[in-house]
Amino acid sequence: MQSLVNKTELWLNHLWHRGREFLNCQYAVMGGAMTWVSEHHLVAAISNAGGFGVLASGAMSPEQLAKEILATRRLTKQSFGVNLITLHPKLDEMVNICLELQATHVVLAGGLPPIGAITRIKQSGVKLICFAPTLGIAKKLIRSGVDALVIEGAEAGGHIGPVATAVLAQEILPVIREVPVFVAGGIGRGEMIVAYLEMGAAGVQLGTKFVCAQESIAHPKMKQAFMQAQARDALPSVQLDQRFPIIPVRALVNQATQKFIQFQRETINRFEQGVVDQKGAQLEIEHFWAGALRRAVLEGDIEAGSLMAGQSVGMVSGEKPVQLIVEELLLQAKQMISNRFAAMEAIS
């Protein structure tokens, strides 16, 4: 009779076998691509710990991206991915860099990817991952030829959609079987990883959990803000007027959050008084946060900066090595599975 430990290991390996094979890593745990945070130190550390690090190209130039890919390779021999923003003005050049440097996995994020980019990436043999905020878009992306999907719920940090992770998982996981699906948003413990795997996920993606890793270059003040925060402190940005839409961003509430509300109100008043036209007012509102994430991550300005964080921030308990973070997640996952097998044996 198999020991409880062996059964637990076998079941977990079975659950995320597809994700591990696709990502070519030990554990199907992707690192969320966080601009300014997910650079070569953190990405390499996640991959070296058995997960799958993902470089966040953000607003990098093609030359900067090339340097980051090469720097990551100097720190790890393991697989990692490159996240590209579909709205990047030099998206074609960014794709070129990935292909020239023989990246194995590319993640296209920030909107529906152009067909041209999908075709070029696919023809090169690179594995392509895209974000699917709805079941309909998931099906459309699969028809376009993507190799895997990430479904990310509103609990996530940064730019978010309107639907919770648990709802997206129920809508998409039972239906989409053609490609591996990775679940993201609000995941902070191993038990939740198991829950989504048993629903049909190939793996998961975690971002906020790694911001306070020792290998993260996030400023100590930003890390301290994360460690002191509760889930209720990570809120989406507020839109005051439907005439001036904003893409919601989940972040820790700070002085800048309140100033943004006031800035919207003042800008809308100026529009109504005829001081600025609608397009100009919209641009002013959109530009309010320009540089704010960099100020928080690199400069430690936790009041005027943007502290993008998911609701799992309440489960960030301290600054730890990535290896220990991954080990804790695995321990929690295995304990949940082991407890279930033990209970089943007890009643059999």
Mean pLDDT, residues 288-314: 94
Per-residue pLDDT, 247: 85
CA 64 to chain centre: 21
Q: Is the pLDDT of residue 307 over 70?
A: yes
pLDDT at 59: 81
Q: How far apart are CA 125 and CA 273, in angstroms?
A: 55
Higher pLDDT, 201 or 317: 201
Q: What is the pLDDT of residue 286?
A: 86
Q: Which residues contact 244 (CB under 8 A, 6 or more apart)?
A: 264, 267, 268, 278, 281, 282, 285
Q: Are 280 and 199 a contacting pair, CB within 8 Å?
A: no
Range from 2-6, 29-33, 102-106, 231-235 carrying the lowest mean pLDDT: 2-6
- Give the model confidence (pLDDT) of 109-138 as tens digits: 988 899 999 999 999 999 999 999 999 999
**Chain segment 157-183, per-residue pLDDT in tens:** 999 988 999 999 999 999 999 999 999
Q: What is the pLDDT of residue 1?
A: 47
Number of neighbours of residue 222 by Cβ within 10 angstroms: 27
Mutual angle of helices 322-347 and 4-15, in 10-degree steps: 120
Domain regions of the chain by residue span: 4-206+318-347, 220-312
Q: Residue 148, by phi and psi: left (phi above 0), alpha (psi -120 to 50) or beta?
A: beta
CATH architecture type of domain 4-206+318-347: Alpha-Beta Barrel (3.20)
Which residues make beta-bridge pairs with 54? 81
- pTM above threshold 0.85: yes
Tens digit of each residue's pLDDT (9 = 90 or more) over 23-72: 999 999 999 999 999 999 999 999 999 999 999 998 899 999 999 999 99
**Residue pLDDT, tens place only, 4-33:** 889 999 999 999 999 999 999 999 999 999
Kindly state the tokens that stand for 158. Answer: 């940064």
pLDDT for residue 76 is more than 50 = yes
β-strand 249-252 against 234-236: which pairing, if any? antiparallel
**Per-residue pLDDT, 345:** 85
pLDDT at 2: 67
Provide the CA 157 distance to its chain's centre, in angstroms. Answer: 8
Residue range 240-263: average pLDDT? 92
Residue whose entry in the numeric block shows the structure tokens 């001081």: 275
DSSP per residue over 167-222, as a string? HHHHHHTTT--SS-EEEESS--SHHHHHHHHHHT-SEEEESHHHHTBTT--S-HHH
Structure confidence at residue 146 (pLDDT): 97
**Per-residue pLDDT tens over the stretch 206-226:** 999 999 999 999 999 999 999
pLDDT at 79: 98
Mean pLDDT of the chain: 95
With CA atoms as reference, report the closest residue to 130 among 171, 63, 181, 198: 181
Task: Please give the pLDDT value at position 20.
Answer: 98
